[in-house]
Amino acid sequence: MKVFSIVGIRASGKTTTIEQIIRELKRRGKTVSTIKTIFCPTFSIDDPKSNTARHKAAGASSVIAKGKTETALIIPEAVDNNKLLNLNQSDYVILEGDYEAPVPRIVCAHQPKEVEERMNDFTFAISGRLADQYDKVCGLPAFSALSQLTELVDLIEEKVYDRLPNVDAKVCSACGIDCVALGRAIIQGEAKRELCMLSQAAVCQLCEQAAQVKLVQGAVTASTGPCQCGCHKLVKETELKKRTLAAVNLPMQLAINGEKVELSHSQEAELKQLLASFVKENVHSIKLNAGDEYE
């Protein structure tokens, strides 16, 4: 099994790139699976009103939903990559959006700066929208999955190596270093995959016993991006409304042609009510802050 990740900000071409790579690998006779990382803290794979959700709520350690065309295994907790990969028998597994996995990486982007922020020592190619404009970015080859798919998949087959255990050196260091360092050296052409003496069966056995090592900088990069389900937009909108309405509710002064006008309590209350209604309807187009002056 060979594992690699594809990362990038929203609408950078990740999913399109993955779709094209899957089709080309399948055309070449390979089996392909994907694992998508979802950053939304409220995400659930299941409908909370479904029978399977009730099974889960009752305490089932796992729930399998079996339909006529699809089967879903629902586990009520985050599962380590090592264990997920052990469930898989595909030739290739693509990790979408996983910044923590120490595996070969492709970065999709709109601008070179986005590549700089997301590339690491495992990055071997650039794709997505940026690859329509450049042949090389940050010293790495750039291939469009739409117009240069053959070249991109040729590079994937060349660079992506058989799965390493990706466990802590205390668990295994038979190669003389550790899995992260070995993977990095393989990508950079400084070592061969054969330096890891474990067979794929032994890798699976070791991964079942030990947790995956994660890239620390990967967690930082991933946490700075908002989830893509829309819930973060609702949170931001709610916070903006609260902040703006708080400014409206502070004591206010009215000036006409530069002359301050004294307001009665009822007049001030009426003006605040009008402003509050306006704010609720136009929260995205205005910004009110306490202490500011408005004309």
Position 220 scores a pLDDT of 43
Mean pLDDT (whole number) for 207-220: 70
Residues 55, 62: Cα–Cα separation, whole Å: 9
Whether 284 has a pLDDT exceeding 70, the answer reads no
Whether 151 has a pLDDT exceeding 50, the answer reads yes
Mean pLDDT (whole number) for 163-176: 88
Spell out the alpha helix ranges (H) of 119-178. Answer: 149-159
Task: Give the amino acid at 62.
Answer: S
Position 215 scores a pLDDT of 80
CA-based torsion, 204, 206, 210, 212: positive or negative: negative
Please write down the long-range contacts of 199-203, taking CB distance under 8 Å and 24 or more positions apart: 200/1, 200/162, 200/163, 203/163, 203/164, 203/165
Mean pLDDT (whole number) for 112-133: 96
Q: How confident is the model at residue 233 (pLDDT cuts 50, 70, 90)?
A: low
Mean pLDDT (whole number) for 70-92: 92
Q: Which of 94-108, 209-223, 267-281 has the highest mean pLDDT?
A: 94-108
Better pLDDT: 157 or 205: 157
Strands 63-66 and 71-74: antiparallel
Whether 93 has a pLDDT exceeding 90, the answer reads yes
Using alpha carbons only, how large is the chain's radius of gyration in Å?
Answer: 26
Whether 223 has a pLDDT exceeding 50, the answer reads no
Residues 164, 1: Cα–Cα separation, whole Å: 9
Domains identified in the chain and CATH numbers:
2-223 (3.40.50.300), 231-281 (no CATH)
Position 190 scores a pLDDT of 95
Q: Where are the beta strands (DSSP E) in 71-190?
A: 71-74, 92-96, 105-108, 123-127, 136-137, 140-141
pLDDT above 70 as % of the chain: 80
Q: How confident is the model at residue 212 (pLDDT cuts 50, 70, 90)?
A: confident
Q: What is the pTM of this model?
A: 0.74
Whether 265 has a pLDDT exceeding 80, the answer reads no
